[in-house]
Amino acid sequence: MRLATTIRGLIPVMALAVSAWAVSAPASAEGKGGGGTEGEKAAPVPCGDAAALVNAVSEANSSPSGGSVALTTGCVYTLGSAAFTGPNGADGLPLITRDVTISGTLATIRRSASAADFRIAEIAPGGSLTVNGVTFSGGRATSGAGTDGGGILDGGSLRLIQSTVTGNTASNVGGGVEIASGGSAVLSGTDVTQNSAGDGGGIHINTSATLSVSGGNISDNTADSSGGGVSNFGTTLLGAVGIARNKTTNFEGGGISTAIGDLTINGSRVTENTAGSFGGGIANMGSALLVQATTVNGNTATLNGGGVFQHAGTTQMIGDTVTGNTANGGQGGGIFTDGGSIALSATTVTGNNPNQCVPALAGC
């Protein structure tokens, strides 16, 4: 039985102190809109012209103040080869070293299915990438030095607005997005879906990294190890997010796994996730976890803790609903605790199988 999660895929990047900024939480849906040019300085890219896209990003990088790139509405830009290869592997777009914005409406940047492996984008320490209304898909970080961040490897600052990260793969960590040590990311109304990795199928947050998510969905992602949707080793805030139908093949945290640092889940929905071992919905392996006004429903663990698995660290649950979860081969269909501490306040735990809380908890 595996009882602890280890730190995986640490990337030796320069520490970058970045504070998360407030963002709105627009409604999320497949096929995002709301992009367009970022003012008069945005460089327009002809429909489907991947070479022009690479050139436009390169030019934005060449300016001391960065620059903006505007994709044509509804167009698909298919990258057939890597534009940059560095110590973290190959990237389809030039390495982001300045303040770069890529915007569009229903536009997609994807890796060609016949191309060699490369992720879509990498942000260097000190670089900043804002993506508005664009889908990143088909990235692969699965060979050589490039095994982290199948869609995006963020060592600097990342902002995703009304965008989608889908169908990307990393053999190590962060199938959709890897936030490396020192990196920060803010997601607003963005979907991270159908990605896969060894750890953190959707998003992996490394030590000394930060993530803030407002609205959107983290869904249908897969991890071989832990954190099918989200794997947290840093500082993470999930607000009004749908965490749904993610899974782990072997270990804990079908929806969310957190091992180090702080994780706050507020006003969210953790539903229909599946764990290969413990914690179908949420697994706390050593963090300070706060869950508020959140529904944990319909999750399944192969072993203990269908809804929540508390192994180490501290968990506070305030005003939550834990219902309809299942521990198939163990106990604590709602909540299972074997270490650390957990406290419930105004939280309903009911209708779980084969039982509610093991061992018994006050308020359960």
Tell whether 31 is covered by a domain. Answer: no
**227: CATH:** 2.160.20
Do the domain assignments include residue 149? yes
- Check the CA dihedral 25-184-120-62 and report its sign: positive
Secondary structure (3-state) at 53: helix
Residue of 191, 132, 195 whose CA lies nearest to 169: 195
Sign (positive or negative) of CA dihedral 312, 362, 348, 266: negative
Q: One-letter amino acid identity for 174?
A: G
Structure tokens at 334: 């709602």
User: The tokens of 193 are what?
Assistant: 């879906």
Question: Cβ neighbours of residue 281 under 8 Å, at least 6 residues apart?
Answer: 243, 254, 255, 256, 270, 271, 273, 296, 299, 306, 307, 308, 325
Task: Say if 72 falls within a structural domain.
Answer: yes
What distance lies between CA 350 and its chain's CA centroid? 29
Domain around 106 = 43-358
The answer as to whether 134 is a domain residue is yes
In three-state secondary structure terms, 94 is coil
Residues 6+ apart with CB under 8 A from 59: 43, 67
**Structural domain contains residue 26:** no
pTM for this model (two decimals):
0.90
The count of other CB atoms within 10 Å of the CB of residue 124 is 23
Question: What is the residue-level pLDDT of the chain in tens, covering all 364 positions?
Answer: 343 333 333 333 323 333 332 333 333 333 344 433 334 478 999 999 999 999 999 999 999 999 999 999 999 999 999 999 999 999 999 999 999 999 999 999 999 999 999 999 999 999 999 999 999 999 999 988 899 999 999 999 999 999 999 999 999 999 999 999 999 999 999 999 999 999 999 999 999 999 999 999 999 999 999 999 999 999 999 999 999 999 999 999 999 999 999 999 999 999 999 999 999 999 999 999 999 999 999 999 999 999 999 999 999 999 999 999 999 989 999 999 999 999 999 999 999 999 999 999 999 9
Q: What is the DSSP secondary structure assignment for residue 42, as one 8-state letter? A: P
Domain-located, residue 21: no
Q: How many domains, in total, are found in the chain?
A: 1
In 3D space, the residue among 262, 309, 255 whose CA is nearest the CA of residue 290 turns out to be 262
- Eight-class DSSP state of 73: T
Omega before residue 359 within 30° of 0, cis: yes
Residue 205 domain-assigned?
yes
Question: Which residues share a beta bridge with 101?
Answer: 68, 130
